[in-house]
Amino acid sequence: MDNRFATAFVIACVLSLISTIYMAASIGTDFWYEYRSPVQENSSDLNKSIWDEFISDEADEKTYNDALFRYNGTVGLWRRCITIPKNMHWYSPPERTESFDVVTKCVSFTLTEQFMEKFVDPGNHNSGIDLLRTYLWRCQFLLPFVSLGLMCFGALIGLCACICRSLYPTIATGILHLLAGLCTLGSVSCYVAGIELLHQKLELPDSVSGEFGWSFCLACVSAPLQFMASALFIWAAHTNRKEYTLMKAYRVA
């Protein structure tokens, strides 16, 4: 194997490993989108009811999004989290101190919630099904796992190529990484579109701001790494095969 192709293969493997780690971390963390709002110190009956509804299994889309807006919420692919006062005083608000203790509470999305229909008016089951938001949500949930699976399968083929001491099978690895990159890019695009459509339905309060979190950024970085790894795998395998064919033809001649 030519040193050029071996170097390209090693670089592609490193890029693939980094993108896999980034993608796995992105899937497993809860910071795809973050809301920033004033800390709610007054643990009144209203606040307690919002918290109780947020952790309830029957919480609908509007209910948990209202809580996310109000309590510095973060959202991942699997979980939603809010930040609330550590000690809840239902009878009166605690006095303001320099260090106000808060705690983060998270609730996982069930598989039923992941595949549940989204409504035109969030929370209103009589407003009709919003097919666009429904399928955007399902795609943003499924595509990252498809991407991760394709990369793992590609790594298995690459390992077989190393055992066989041949670069030609890595063409399949490159194609799988290309498909994985497209899935990651599709997931990111679906998530952005879904968030924008949600905020058109549920406008953020004046004192609340939202931004994409570091989990989302990891997914964004993972996609170009997958594309670069794919290009290197395909180039190394194709060029090495071409040169081998020319050398074989020269020897026959």
Q: What's the confidence (pLDDT) of residue 136?
A: 94
**Structural domain spans, the chain:** 3-29+110-244
Assess whether pLDDT exceeds 90 at residue 213. Answer: yes
Assess whether pLDDT exceeds 80 at residue 208. Answer: yes
Mean of all residue pLDDT scores within the chain: 83
3-state secondary structure of 32: coil
Per residue in 154-182, pLDDT (tens digit) is 888 888 877 776 666 788 899 999 999 99
Find the mean pLDDT for residues 33-58.
72
Assess whether pLDDT exceeds 60 at residue 245. Answer: no
State the Cα–Cα distance between residues 132 and 197, nearest whole angstrom: 9
State the Cα–Cα distance between residues 215 and 217, nearest whole angstrom: 5
State the Cα–Cα distance between residues 18 and 64, nearest whole angstrom: 34
Q: What's the confidence (pLDDT) of residue 91?
A: 45
Q: Are 228 and 178 in contact (CB under 8 A)?
A: no
Q: What percent of the chain shows pLDDT beyond 70?
A: 81
* The residue type at 174: G
Per residue in 86-135, pLDDT (tens digit) is 655 444 454 544 445 777 888 888 888 888 889 888 878 888 899 999 99
Which CATH architecture does the domain made up of 3-29+110-244 adopt?
Answer: Up-down Bundle (1.20)
Q: Given pLDDT bands bounded at 50, 70 and 90, which one contains residue 246?
A: very low
DSSP code of residue 88: -
